[in-house]
Structure 1
Amino acid sequence: MTNGNGSAEADRTLKAKHRAMWAQGDYPSLAAEVISELGPVLVEACGVRSGQRVLDVGAGTGNAAIPAALAGAEVVASDLTPELFEAGRRVAEERGARLTWQEADAEALPFGDAEFDTVLSCVGVMFAPHHQRAADELVRVCRPGGTIGLLSWTPQGFIGRMFATLKPYAPPPPPGAQPPPLWGDEDHARALLGDRVTDVRAERRTVRVDRFATPEMFRDYFKERYGPTITVYKNIAGDPDRVAALDRDLVALARDADLGTGQGGTVMDWEYLLLTARRAG
């Protein structure tokens, strides 16, 4: 996966930072309160059914893995940040879902070739820094004729725009790391998977987010709970002017996205790409 000891050490350091980023804040509450419906959407699109062996890559708290298990599949929920599993296990127990939780790097999955009938990822694998490595692993562990399903935030959608808003305040990305929302660009995702898949279906959809009374509440919620946002604020913590500027920019982002439905509160549609494909061979 890497060349030489220095490169290997740099990769370990990068992955440790990623793990720490997602372990901070409270991503489990965000996944449950804001985007819980996305997992079932992906599971349905992949046609998950009883008797299948399913791998969820970047599973987090199991937004897709738990619905897949409830559909009767034998599910492995894998993630680089096992700190997220505790909340996932609680939800699985409450809902009567049985599945396996396993720490795993999306760029070096600890599974055999062609081991799974369905390999899916719900806003998870998109955060692996090296997109081609991660895509190669998704294909490798899926059996020929099996399904690969991905749900990713788009660059032009709200979360893609949020990452663009954060970028000027963030530390420079490591060499070779690619922006997560690129996975939500259909051409990019197709290129990553290449001719190793067939029957590609891609559709841009939105999820309605209406839990924030004001744009300020959205900003504060993400400052407290979302690892990437917390990391950026830590980067500029010593500069009150930049903190204030980012505060304003995130409020402006949410205000611009508000649909103004007249229902009260801030109502937004966050765009994502839903892509499914069949492993060739």
Structure 2
Amino acid sequence: MTDTADEREADRALKAKHRTMWALGDYPAVARQVVAALGPALVEACAIRAGDRVLDVAAGSGNASIPAALAGGEVLASDLTPELLAVGQQEAEARGATLTWQEADAEALPFEDATFDTVMSCVGVMFAPHHQAAADELVRVCRPGGTIGLLNWTPEGFIGQMFATLKPFAPPPPPGAQPPPLWGKEEHVRALLGDRVTDVEGHRRTIRVDMFQEPEEFLEFFKAAYGPTIAVYRNLADDPERTAALDAALTNLASGALQDGAMEWEYLLLTARRSRPDAA
């Protein structure tokens, strides 16, 4: 692939757009109030122990980083959006967790090869636009024999369906950008990691979300707090008819998912081990 000046500039612009999008609204509230259980689930699957060097890629406000630090890991939480890291640092201090926070692009991590015992990402790296580049970085910075742990929304699950619902209302993605929910397909992640990993285990699980008693509660919360949703609505600011159509589509999606005041959101939890040089 030829890395031209135009391509580099386009990539910088795309990353700046992503950084801005995730700073919209209040993603830390989503992580804290809606999906808090995901981070501990990933940390448990990675079997993080005291003294393990841990990198959390696209860590956001620390949904997985903080539990990993509380488990004894020497954690570095990295993310493209510094506003999220700032909130995470405050939450870590409030919970008595000590870790390092660093701004970093998941597709170009500023760390040496084979630096970490565990490299993980909790519904984070899936939003990097170039999947192979991000996967290559996950593998590169993990030591041979170390653990790579990923937790991502599936295409068929509620959040995957939410992105499918948003897609017709959003601007077309730039050339080369891939849909985030592909990271929730085990065969896709296996192909990205390739023969550089062994002992791959993938499990589809669900998180129970009981914060929203009515579909309209989900709609209003995600319109106010979730960056990708906010960005799509801003794109529709001058089109009340399409705004109303998106309101209806998201309300219908939530209505179909709500059962007795709760929803089950599906995700893929995948762990693998970085191959050793002498592995067959």
**TM-based fold match above 0.5:** yes
Q: Which residue of 2 aligns with 1:270?
A: 265
Distance 2:60 2:5 in 1: 30
Pairs within 5 Å for 1:39-118: 39-118=39-118
SS across alignment from 1:60:
coil
Partner of 1:206: 206
Distance across 2 between alignment mates of 1:224 and 1:231: 10
Q: Report Cα offsets for 1:160-196 as digits up to 9, x if no partner.
A: 0000000000000010000000000000010000000
Give the CA deviation at 1:111.
0.2
Native 8 Å contact 1:57 1:78 kept in 2: yes
Shift of 1:29: 0.8
Q: Is the 8 A contact 1:68 1:75 kept in 2?
A: yes
* Local SS of the residue matching 1:72: coil
Residues 128 and 2 of structure 1: is their aligned pair in 2 closer, same or farther, counting only changes over 3 Å? farther
Q: Which portions of structure 1, spanning 4 or more consecutive aligned residues, are displaced by more than 4 angstroms?
A: none
1:136 aligns with 2:125: no
CA contact (8 A) 1:54 1:118 kept: yes
Alignment size in residue pairs: 276
What's the CA shift for 1:229?
0.3
TM-score (norm 2): 0.97
Residues 205-258 of structure 1: CA deviation (Å, up to 9, x unaligned): 000001112100100100000000001001111110000000000000000111
Q: CA deviation at 1:2?
A: 6.5
Q: Is the 8 A contact 1:209 1:270 kept in 2?
A: yes
- Tell me if structure 2 keeps the 8 A contact 1:58–1:79: yes
Question: What SS does structure 1 have at the residue aligned with 2:117?
Answer: strand
Report the CA distance between 1:77 and its aligned residue: 0.1
Question: Any residues of structure 2 matched to 1:1-281 within 5 Å, and which?
Answer: 3-259=3-259, 261=260, 266-281=261-276
What code does the residue aligned with 2:195 have?
D
**Aligned with 1:145: secondary structure?**
strand
Instruction: Using the TM superposition, give the Cα deviation of residue 72 of structure 1 relative to its aligned residue in structure 2, in angstroms.
Output: 0.9
TM-score, normalization by structure 1? 0.97
Deviation at 1:80, TM superposition (A): 0.2
The answer to whether the 8 A contact 1:2-1:8 is kept is no
Q: What fraction of aligned residue pairs are identical, expressed as a percent? A: 72
C-alpha distance in 1 between matches for 2:14 and 2:178: 13
Task: Indicate how the Cα distance of structure 1 residues 17 and 2 shifts in structure 2: closer, same or farther if over 3 A, else same.
Answer: farther
Structure 1: give runs of 5+ residues left out of the alignment: none
User: In structure 2, what is the Cα distance between the partners aligned to 1:102 and 1:190?
Assistant: 28
Query: Helix, strand or coil: the match of 2:208?
Result: strand
Cα distance in 2 for partners of 1:139, 1:19 equals 23
